[in-house]
Every structure is written in C-alpha cells, then in structure tokens.
C-alpha cells in the first residue's frame, strides 16, 4: 500500500480541499458537505482519477478563496470513497484519511487548487512496549471518563476506540470524534512525535472533563436556587390566599 501510494504521489500535483472547522486524521472516516465550486471541482477530479485528495484546514474560516498562506502547513492525504450530489449545488463527501503530509506549494488549475506534498518525519516509539501499553490504557481511561461526563457517544465508535491497541490510531480516533475546536485538533495533527500527540490529546480531554464538571456544578446550584425561589413564591401565594379567606 505504501509503495503504491508513493507511486501515485511521485512528482504529482494533488487536488487540494480546504476545510472549515474540520481536521482530518489518518485512519479515520470523515463525512462533510461542500458548496464552493472550487472544492466540488477538486473532489470531482479526484473521483475521476486516483481518488486522492489533500485535505487541510483553513486558518481563517471566513476566507472564500484560500491560498497557501491561508491554510495550515500540515494536512492529511485522503481517499475519496463516495460523493453524493445534493440540491442547491451542495456535495456530500465521504473520505478516509491515509497519512499526514506537508503542503509545499499550491496553484490554481481548472478553477481548483492543486498542491505538491512532502513527507513528514514521524518520531517516537510506537512499538508494543510496556510504556506504550500504559499510555494506551491511560488514554482509554481518560476517554471513558470524558464519555461518562458527556453522557452521549456513538456506541459503535466508543467500542472501536476501546478495542484499539495501536497508540497512534487510538489518538487519531479519539481526536476525530470529540467536539472540540478545530484549532486544538490541528495542534495534534501538527505534532510529529506520537508521545507529544498523546500529551496534547490528554490535556484536551482533561480540560474538557473539568469544564463539563464545572458546568454541572453551576447547573446544580442554579437549579437549587430556582427551587428555593419557587418554594418561597408558593409559600407567599399560600399565605396571601389564607389571608384572603380569613378576610
């Protein structure tokens, strides 16, 4: 697969899809809708050739015609699995992320972006050592607490995550399925060292758990105050009624 992929990329300009609020990770399936004509043309070209596209997040979500300076340097090479044409010139796209890559250069060809890509050096030991096993278990435990606090998660996705033993894949699966700001996800994708990616994700999960617990505490205090106010109101109304009955 890796050799075939390298042959496909050899000295080739790949259709580039710039995304708003979405970061695609290797090994994950992503569904998104596009309406920009340039993006639709890029995806269509990929479907008519080798199905390869390069997905990269925009820095400014309001930029309509992003160039090299308007997108992050690191993105994900992906394979287009399905496209569905919807009303109002919208296309629904299903892709699978393949590998992290760096965008070196972009140009506009036939009204859409194409780019040349560069390999990024992965660092960190991902072999099945006791240390890696400990990291995997710790991340799963943290994700379980996160899900318990969140209270809603697709059970199939949850089970796939809990069954995963590869630390890199585990990081990408969790990062792809938590509803946090895309810039936080981009920090994970940018990191070359797998253990630092693990650290980035752990910090994000811990922060989200703390925020949800604070929200729960605030909601509980507000509910308690509302209940007390309602009790006082009902008591006052009962006293008024009694006084009225007594004349």
Tens digits of residue pLDDT in 144-167: 999 999 988 889 999 999 999 999
Q: Is the pLDDT of residue 142 over 60?
A: yes
Q: How would you label 28-41 residue by residue, b for 16+ Cβ within 10 Å and e otherwise? A: bebebebebebbbb
Indicate the Cα dihedral angle 49, 56, 172, 135, nearest 10°: 130
Low-confidence winner among 104-113, 163-172, 203-212 (lowest mean pLDDT): 104-113
Strand (E) or helix (H) holding 100: strand 90-109
pLDDT given at position 1: 53
Q: Is the pLDDT of residue 128 over 80?
A: no
The C-alpha atoms of residue 22 and residue 156 are separated, in whole angstroms, by 21
pLDDT given at position 4: 58
Q: Is the pLDDT of residue 3 over 80?
A: no
Mean pLDDT of 66-74: 92
**How many Cβ atoms sit within 10 Å of the Cβ of residue 193?**
14
What end-to-end distance do the CA atoms of the chain give, in Å? 91
User: Whose CA is closest to 46, among 87, 91, 88, 2?
Assistant: 91
Mean pLDDT of 22-26: 96
Q: Is the pLDDT of residue 178 over 90?
A: yes
pLDDT given at position 122: 86
| Phi, psi dihedral angles at 239 (to 5 degrees) | -65, -40
* pLDDT over 90, % of the chain: 60
| Phi, psi dihedral angles at 48 (to 5 degrees) | -85, -5
The C-alpha atoms of residue 62 and residue 86 are separated, in whole angstroms, by 23
Q: Is the pLDDT of residue 17 over 80?
A: yes
User: Whose CA is closest to 174, among 61, 64, 23, 63?
Assistant: 23
pLDDT band per the 50, 70, 90 thresholds, residue 63? confident
pLDDT given at position 7: 54
pLDDT given at position 8: 57
Higher-scoring residue by pLDDT: 205, 151: 205
pLDDT given at position 179: 92
* pLDDT over 70, % of the chain: 94
Mean pLDDT of 11-29: 92
pLDDT band per the 50, 70, 90 thresholds, residue 72? very high
């Amino acid at each position: 697969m890796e050799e075939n992929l390298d042959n496909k990329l050899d000295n080739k300009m790949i259709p580039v899809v710039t995304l708003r609020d979405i970061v695609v990770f290797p090994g994950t399936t992503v569904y998104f809708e596009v309406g920009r004509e340039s993006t639709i043309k890029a995806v269509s070209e990929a479907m008519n050739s080798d199905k390869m596209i390069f997905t990269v997040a925009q820095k400014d979500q309001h930029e309509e015609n992003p160039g090299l300076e308007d997108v992050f340097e690191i993105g994900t090479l992906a394979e287009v699995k399905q496209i569905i044409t919807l009303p109002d010139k919208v296309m629904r796209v299903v892709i699978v992320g393949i590998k992290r890559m760096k965008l070196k250069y972009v140009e506009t060809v036939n009204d859409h972006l194409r780019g040349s890509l560069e390999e990024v050096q992965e660092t960190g030991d991902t072999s099945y050592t006791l240390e890696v096993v400990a990291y995997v278990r710790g991340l799963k435990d943290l994700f379980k607490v996160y899900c318990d606090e969140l209270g809603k998660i697709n059970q199939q996705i949850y089970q796939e995550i809990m069954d995963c033993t590869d630390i890199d894949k585990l990081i990408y699966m969790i990062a792809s399925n938590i509803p946090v700001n895309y810039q936080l996800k981009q920090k994970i994708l940018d990191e070359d060292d797998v253990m630092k990616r693990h650290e980035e994700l752990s910090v994000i999960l811990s922060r989200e758990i703390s925020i949800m617990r604070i929200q729960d505490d605030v909601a509980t205090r507000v509910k308690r105050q509302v209940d007390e106010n309602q009790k006082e109101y009902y008591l006052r109304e009962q006293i008024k009624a009694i006084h009225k009955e007594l004349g």
